[in-house]
Amino acid sequence: MDTRPDFAAAARLAAIIDSSFDAIISKDLNSVITSWNIAAQRMFGYTPEEAVGRSILMLIPQHLRSEETDIISRIRNGERVESYDTTRLRKDGSTIYVSITVSPIKDADGSIIGASKIARDISQTRESEQRIRLLLREVNHRMKNQFAVILSIIRESSNRALSAKDFEEQVRARIMALSRSHDLLVNSNWSGAGLFELAQEHLSIFANAEQVTLSGPLIMLQPGAVQNLGMAFHELGTNAAKYGALSPRGGHVQLSWEIEEFDDGVRGLTLTWDEQAKGSEPAPPAQASTRRGFGSVVLERVVPIALGGQASVERENGRVRWTLHTHLDRLTMADGGADLGEIIGPMP
């Protein structure tokens, strides 16, 4: 019987190994590397000359070296080690996530003489999974906060509503406002939203573009600030649509913001809602009722506290002017501001 190797088949196999995107490494039963393909060089940083003849342990972190003992034991028994995820070391000392499969290598007599290892780089997959887990935790946190806000809206709207119909309209409008802010965050993978974009999204339902002027530098808001300012813009817009510049009586709203240096040397933001209705009658407080309105509490207490700033409201001669001063970091840095649900709950 002719036992000479099929050189054509061997050449094809060598070509497949060399062109593989996965690291393909062979080793003997003493864990000494006997072959090393191009992908292994790309993945781990060692050339074939540097790797062949050295122990495979050079790739294994110290705390995981028991894996190699187990692998060699199973290979000696003729077992194939199915794919499992682990970490390995590059030449520069950095860690790489890999999926590894190990199979026995036999000689012509069927005796096991070593092992063939295939390693696939799964670093990007792991990073994607970690990002997804972080995003899901963030979404879970935000959803719990949204539920807290909704419960507070229901409670406070019930306390201040003039009728069942008024209560239903207020709750529906405020939940829809939360939804608009939420949509902006979802579209940005929960990274935040631009201040201009947020204001435009909330005010477009109340007025024509000619009635509202937005001006200020480009500012990317963190998620908490999106929720807080979104609620403020909704309350201001609602009040203006019922009683002020965006009502049938007509008028104009100027929403502007500027970055400035406060007295403590910290960069801050001053945001101003300047609304002028036609006529000289003052606009009633936001969501006016026999008790202090929900909108007034949001504008004067909830939003300033959540964003670590101060706010004031002036009403006279058909004009409403709401001014917010806060540190810029509270608007733009992750976790810069408190969640709306943490502040809105204990309203008086």
**Statement to judge: residues 289 and 337 lie in one domain:** yes
Whole-number Cα distances in Å, 11 to 26, 36, 110, 181: 17, 16, 22, 61
Domain-ending residue, one of 121, 149, 174: 121
**Residue 5, pLDDT score:** 52
String of DSSP letters for 251-282: EEEEEEEEEEE-TTS-EEEEEEEEEEESSSSP
**Statement to judge: residues 97 and 186 lie in one domain:** no
Domain-ending residue, one of 86, 121, 156: 121
Residue range of the domain that includes 330:
134-344
Q: Encode burial over 19-55: b for 16+ CB neighbours within 10 A, e otherwise.
A: eeebbbbbbeeebebbbbbbbbbebbbbeeeebbeee
For residue 33, is it within any domain?
Answer: yes
**Statement to judge: residues 159 and 105 lie in one domain:** no
Tokens standing for 336? Answer: 């810069």
**Statement to judge: residues 41 and 174 lie in one domain:** no
For residue 286, is it within any domain?
Answer: yes
Task: Give Cβ neighbours of residue 203 (< 8 Å, ≥ 6 apart).
Answer: 212, 233, 237, 253, 255
For residue 72, is it within any domain?
Answer: yes
**Residue 338, pLDDT score:** 55
For residue 129, is it within any domain?
Answer: no
For residue 2, is it within any domain?
Answer: no
For residue 52, is it within any domain?
Answer: yes
**Residue 341, pLDDT score:** 54
> Pairing between strand 212-215 and 251-261?
parallel
**Residue 141, pLDDT score:** 80
Residue 176's DSSP bridge partners are: none
**Statement to judge: residues 110 and 145 lie in one domain:** no
**Statement to judge: residues 115 and 146 lie in one domain:** no
**Statement to judge: residues 32 and 158 lie in one domain:** no
- Please state, in angstroms and rounded to a whole number, the distance separating the CA atoms of residues 127 and 135: 12
**Statement to judge: residues 309 and 204 lie in one domain:** yes
**Statement to judge: residues 115 and 179 lie in one domain:** no
The identity of residue 134, as a single letter, is L
Residue recorded with tokens 């890999």: 98
**Statement to judge: residues 48 and 168 lie in one domain:** no
- Please state, in angstroms and rounded to a whole number, the distance separating the CA atoms of residues 168 and 149: 16
**Residue 129, pLDDT score:** 87
**Statement to judge: residues 236 and 113 lie in one domain:** no
**Residue 348, pLDDT score:** 42
CATH of residue 208: 3.30.565.10
Q: What would the 3-class secondary structure string for 138-191 be?
A: HHHHHHHHHHHHHHHHHHHHHHHCCCHHHHHHHHHHHHHHHHHHHHHHHHCCCC
For residue 171, is it within any domain?
Answer: yes
CATH of residue 84: 3.30.450.20
- Please state, in angstroms and rounded to a whole number, the distance separating the CA atoms of residues 93 and 95: 7
Centre a 10 Å sphere on the Cβ of residue 15 and count the other Cβ atoms it contains. 10
For residue 128, is it within any domain?
Answer: no
Instruction: List per-residue pLDDT tens for the chain, 348 residues long.
Output: 444 556 555 556 565 566 578 899 999 999 999 999 999 999 999 999 999 999 999 999 999 999 999 999 999 999 989 889 999 999 999 999 999 999 999 988 889 999 999 999 998 888 888 888 887 887 788 778 778 888 888 887 887 778 888 888 889 999 999 899 989 988 988 789 999 999 999 999 987 778 999 999 999 999 889 989 999 999 999 999 988 999 888 899 999 999 998 777 789 999 999 999 987 555 555 444 334 577 888 999 989 999 999 999 998 888 999 999 999 998 998 655 555 555 555 444
**Residue 176, pLDDT score:** 92
Task: Give Cβ neighbours of residue 342 (< 8 Å, ≥ 6 apart).
Answer: 145, 148, 306
In this structure, what DSSP letter does residue 92 have?
T
Q: Encode burial over 318-331: b for 16+ CB neighbours within 10 A, e otherwise.
A: bbbebebbbbbebb
**Residue 167, pLDDT score:** 87
How many residues are listed for the chain in this entry? 348
* Total count of domains within the chain: 2
**Statement to judge: residues 258 and 317 lie in one domain:** yes
